[in-house]
Structure 1
Amino acid sequence: MARIPIEMPKLGYDMEAGKIGAWIKKVGDPIRRGEVIAEIETDKSTVEMEATGSGTLAEIVHDAGADVTVGETIAWLEDGG
């Protein structure tokens, strides 16, 4: 099984970091591409983060409430391959 990083997305032109508002999925949950997995808060709004791949949520690196730099790994997806 391959582990694929889920990274903090860049949601705006000048966004450098975001806050994980809430995790919608928990470790062990199956995830399908396009499914909402978390809520990301920016200084202007809260955005639903969709999965870019399918598999199982293997690990959450940063809990809800954490401020995370764009591009940093926030969780790991196991692709089941």
Structure 2
Amino acid sequence: MIEFTMPSLGADMESGTFVEWLVKPGDAVRRGQVVCVIETQKGAVEVEIWDEGVVERLVARPGDELPVGAVMAVLRGAAEPAGRADKPSPPAAERTPRASRPAKPQGGPPTTPAMPAAGRPRISPAARRRAVELGIDPATLVPSQPGAPLQLADVERA
């Protein structure tokens, strides 16, 4: 079994919030394939896998705050028989659900849209993909943090 863990996406990154899976159990994955989206302090990041195999079990759930190195999924190598990943998910004490994170200050939405000088909105890749899925024009959205690119949560809130 191969453990797919939360990568360190920056020198000062200690944890990240799991946003979504782009694969499901039973899917074959290959090195370099984007398999999930993680939200960091700097924005949403599409994460590639560095192993090849078949997704046996997804451990991380949307909203989970996971430390760097935490197991997010278990893969079965191509030569391994199916059904060997019978280990239960980590206990709840090892997970920090979204609700237990400190609340962000509440305030009115900023009035400045996320438009750089070139006229195209600054938006994370995951947020751009979700906006297309929902048929939302990113130019009409306002980021939750003034001056920051639009994030997945900004698109979901629209």
TM-score (norm 1): 0.93
**Structure whose CA Rg is larger:** 2
Deviations 1:26-72 (A, max 9, x none): 11111011110000110111111101011101111111211100011
The one-letter amino acid of 1:67's match is E
Aligned to 2:30: 32
Aligned counterparts of 2:74 and 2:50: Cα–Cα separation in 1: 12
Determine whether 1:79 maps to 2:77.
yes
Greater fraction of residues in helix: 2
Aligned counterparts of 1:7 and 1:54: Cα–Cα separation in 2: 14
Aligned counterparts of 1:65 and 1:36: Cα–Cα separation in 2: 19
1:58 aligned to 53, 56, 72, which one? 56
Aligned to 1:16: 14
Show structure 1 runs of 5+ residues with no match: none
Identity of aligned residues (%): 39
Aligned to 1:67: 65
User: How large is the Cα RMSD of the aligned pairs?
Assistant: 0.8
Greater fraction of residues in strand: 1
> 3-state DSSP class of the match of 1:22?
strand
Aligned counterparts of 1:65 and 1:35: Cα–Cα separation in 2: 22
**In the TM superposition, what is the alpha-carbon distance from 1:75 to its structure 2 partner?**
0.6
- Which one scores higher on RCO, CA 8 angstroms, separation ≥ 6? 1
The one-letter amino acid of 1:70's match is V
Aligned to 2:112: none
